[in-house]
Copies of this chain bind each other. A is one copy, B any other.
Amino acid sequence: MFRNQYDTDVTTWSPAGRLFQVEYAMEAVKQGSAAVGLRSKTHAVLAAVNKAASDLASHQRKLFRADQHVGVAIAGLTADGRVLSRFLRNECINHSFVYESPLPVARLVVQLADKAQVCTQRSWKRPYGVGLLVAGLDETGAHLYYNCPSGNYFEYQAFAIGSRSQAAKTFLERRFEAYDGYSREELIKDALFAIKETLQGEKLTSQLCTVAIVGEGEAFHIIDQQTIQDYIDAMELSTGGPEEEAAAEAPPSAEAQGGGEGASSEPAPMDI
């Protein structure tokens, strides 16, 4: 294992101008289960692999709603992610209360990044060990950001984080240029394809992943499991991968046809 004397304190610079503790915290993100995000001009979709700690457990939540118009997917230390999700929720609520309008996604992302930066400059803290994909919709359209433990953030058309996310990124890089014009159904399907890439041959089922969406006329919500299974089944009918199945129809689920009525999956209209 690489060793040096500059890597045990978050406030110590290496001679080459690096903060090793921050870099190590970013490794924790790579060990979390994978999450992907992608967006069109009007919709943003997040998807995460469900990894249960044992057969007896339900999986841990990886997708969190921050407000009607924004939500996050996390990879890394779940406990840190939960704390940051609540921070986002509070920021959104406070902004709504004061300004009577939703907090623009870009501003929310900056506030999140600032909170993370502080942890990289105080000797009695550690950097958060979690990465967050933030998907949201505001007056300037749909957005996707990645906030990392260093306090940096990046805007993306599509991105993947967590373990084996490289395969998903490779898939997304081949296709992201067309995403701006995608329908919500197309975004969901590509999210599922990207998730599948991270499974290394394991069969994708709706138990294995969670998908959330936010978009015009549709508040951030988790899509119900049956609808996801319908998408997966439709994807498998079309054999050759996404490229070949462009002509395949949208899955005939209720959701795809206008609104699933399930408690957790209906595209809740935004109260704006």
| Residues of A near any B CB (own CB < 8 A) | 1-21, 24-31, 52-58, 60, 76-80, 82-83, 86, 110, 113-114, 116-117, 119-127, 129, 146, 150-159, 169, 172-173, 176
Counted per complex, copies of this chain come to 7
How far apart are the CA atoms of A77 and B7 in the complex, in Å?
17
Cβ-defined partner of A173 (8 Å) among B9, B55, B151: B55
How far apart are the CA atoms of A201 and B156 in the complex, in Å?
27
List the B residue with the shortest CB-CB distance to A155: B58
How far apart are the CA atoms of A158 and B54 in the complex, in Å?
10
Q: 14 A-B pairs, CB-CB below 8 angstroms?
A: A2-B15, A5-B8, A10-B11, A11-B126, A13-B129, A52-B154, A54-B159, A55-B173, A56-B158, A56-B159, A79-B120, A82-B117, A122-B125, A124-B124
Cβ-defined partner of A3 (8 Å) among B5, B54, B110, B173: B5
Q: Are A17 and B31 in contact (CB under 8 A)?
A: yes
How far apart are the CA atoms of A125 and B53 in the complex, in Å?
27
Cβ-defined partner of A1 (8 Å) among B8, B15, B55: B15
List the B residue with the shortest CB-CB distance to A8: B12
How far apart are the CA atoms of A180 and B127 in the complex, in Å?
41
Q: Could you list 7 further interchain pairs (A-B, Cβ under 8 angstroms) beyond the known A13-B24, A15-B20, A56-B158? A: A2-B15, A5-B8, A11-B125, A16-B31, A17-B31, A55-B173, A58-B156
Q: Are A172 and B56 in contact (CB under 8 A)?
A: yes
Cβ-defined partner of A79 (8 Å) among B8, B53, B116: B116
Return A140 CB to nearest CB of chain B, in Å.
11
How far apart are the CA atoms of A125 and B13 in the complex, in Å?
11
Q: Are A125 and B123 in contact (CB under 8 A)?
A: yes
Q: Are A83 and B176 in contact (CB under 8 A)?
A: no
